[in-house]
């Protein structure tokens, strides 16, 4: 069973007075870093999306990492590519699992094969990017990357990613975000990277600060409906940043929710509308 905040502690956190109003909190609570979810202004998880996310004012762009087909060896480990889903079906004209597809096959797929991008002539040449391409794009755009790693890699796969981080001078400009198991495995091989644990925790249960530190995580990413000022204060007392996202649906990716995330004291706000969020929160880049 996952370690979780004990019920007495949860009761204590619940007893902390709530912020009286988002407007009042805004004057005393620092802006979160506004993060472009899967990039911005272009097909998701592509080079143009990274560039546009940075241009919109996001100092950090979130992207989803998987690996192409490999054979479990150092010579052919599989290569890091950007794709949220386990298959390529939703966003490309191809079919099948990312992990069952070779690198050349993946990077030849058009990445705009879904609305509204499938009719946009600006992106007809946009293809699924691999590590050199997306890391170089971020470096050139002066953006950091929040790598939402969708699988637990083996050591050979992990090493291939880190090789590209080194080649592109991005090793110190990424945050490796994954499940508890994914962070624990990766940190065992590469302890110098920055790590964040992401989860949809069960109602009323969160990882403890002690457990997150034991995994090597410096940040904890949880949904916006799990946020509270008390919980964020608790994790901050351990030196752990708190990330949250409003990108699950258009209904919650709105100014009122962004303000609630800010009022709770979260460090990162991950949104599909970074340009509007920066304006709505009156945030400056890097604030």
- When pLDDT is averaged across residues 147-160 and rounded to a whole number, the result is 97
Residue 175, strand partner residues: 146, 194
Residue 28 pLDDT > 90: no
**Angle, CA 83 vertex, CA 248 and CA 240 arms, to 5°:** 60
Q: Quote the CA–CA distance of 126 and 29 in Å, as a whole number.
A: 39
| pLDDT score for 1 | 36
| pLDDT score for 63 | 98
Say if strands 219-223 and 80-82 run parallel, antiparallel, or are unpaired.
unpaired
| pLDDT score for 283 | 73
Q: Quote the CA–CA distance of 210 and 196 in Å, as a whole number.
A: 14
Residue 243 pLDDT > 60: yes
> Cβ–Cβ contacts within 10 Å for residue 280, how many?
17
Q: What is the pTM of this model?
A: 0.89
- When pLDDT is averaged across residues 244-250 and rounded to a whole number, the result is 96
Question: Quick one: 119 exposed, middle or buried, by C-beta within 10 A (0-12, 13-18, 19+)?
Answer: exposed
Kindly calculate the radius of gyration of the chain based on its CA atoms and give it in whole angstroms. 19
Q: Quote the CA–CA distance of 253 and 45 in Å, as a whole number.
A: 19
| pLDDT score for 25 | 37
- When pLDDT is averaged across residues 51-66 and rounded to a whole number, the result is 97
Q: Domain-by-domain residue ranges, the chain?
A: 7-280
Q: In this prediction, what percent of the chain has a pLDDT beyond 90? A: 84
Instruction: Encode burial over 57-70: b for 16+ CB neighbours within 10 A, e otherwise.
Output: bbbbbbbbbbbbbb
Q: Quote the CA–CA distance of 116 and 240 in Å, as a whole number.
A: 38
Q: How confident is the model at residue 284 (pLDDT cuts 50, 70, 90)?
A: low
| pLDDT score for 13 | 40
- Cα-Cα-Cα-Cα dihedral sign, residues 244, 246, 114, 135: negative
| pLDDT score for 203 | 78
- Among the residue ranges 16-25, 43-52, 85-94, 232-241, the one predicted with the least confidence is 16-25
Whether residue 145 contacts residue 138, with contact meaning beta carbons closer than 8 Å, is answered with: yes
Residue 21 pLDDT > 50: no
Which one has a higher pLDDT value, 148 or 27?
148
Q: In this prediction, what percent of the chain has a pLDDT beyond 70? A: 89
Q: Which of 199, 205, 210 is nearest to 7 (CA)?
A: 205
CA distances from 180 to 46, 176, 212, 233 (A): 26, 11, 8, 21
Residue 81, strand partner residues: 66, 130
- When pLDDT is averaged across residues 2-9 and rounded to a whole number, the result is 39
Mean residue pLDDT across the chain: 90
Helix (H) or strand (E) holding 160: helix 155-167
Residue 58 pLDDT > 70: yes
- Cα-Cα-Cα-Cα dihedral sign, residues 46, 49, 53, 54: positive
CA distances from 190 to 68, 162, 195, 242 (A): 21, 8, 10, 22
CATH number of 7-280: 3.20.20.190
Written as one string, the DSSP assignment of 164-201 is: HHHHTT-GGGEEEEE-HHHHHHHHHH-TTSEEEEE--P
Q: How confident is the model at residue 117 (pLDDT cuts 50, 70, 90)?
A: very high
Q: Which of 223, 174, 216, 215 is nearest to 198 (CA)?
A: 223
């Amino acid at each position: 069973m996952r370690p979780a905040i004990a019920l007495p502690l949860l009761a204590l956190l619940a007893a902390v007075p709530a912020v009286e109003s988002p407007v009042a909190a805004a004057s005393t609570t620092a802006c979160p870093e506004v993060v472009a979810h899967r990039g911005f202004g272009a097909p998701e998880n592509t080079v143009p999306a990274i560039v546009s996310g940075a241009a919109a004012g996001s100092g950090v762009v979130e992207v989803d990492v998987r690996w192409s087909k490999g054979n479990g060896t150092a010579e052919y480990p599989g290569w890091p590519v950007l794709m949220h889903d386990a298959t390529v079906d939703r966003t490309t004209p191809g079919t099948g699992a990312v992990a069952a597809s070779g690198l050349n096959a993946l990077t030849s797929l058009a990445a705009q094969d879904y609305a509204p991008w499938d009719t946009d002539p600006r992106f007809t040449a946009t293809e699924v990017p691999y590590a050199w391409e997306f890391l170089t794009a971020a470096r050139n755009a002066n953006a950091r990357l929040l790598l939402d790693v969708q699988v637990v890699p083996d050591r050979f796969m992990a090493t291939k990613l880190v090789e590209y981080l080194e080649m592109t001078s991005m090793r110190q400009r990424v945050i490796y975000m994954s499940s508890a198991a994914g962070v624990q495995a990766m940190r065992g091989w590469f302890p110098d990277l920055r790590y964040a644990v992401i989860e949809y925790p069960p109602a009323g249960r969160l990882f403890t600060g002690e457990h997150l530190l034991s995994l090597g995580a410096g940040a904890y990413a949880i949904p916006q409906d799990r946020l509270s000022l008390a919980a964020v204060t608790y994790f901050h007392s351990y030196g752990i940043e708190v990330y949250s996202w409003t990108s699950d649906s258009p209904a919650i990716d709105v100014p009122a929710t962004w303000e609630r995330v800010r009022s709770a004291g979260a460090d990162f706000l991950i949104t599909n509308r970074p340009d509007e969020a920066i304006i709505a929160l009156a945030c400056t880049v890097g604030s």
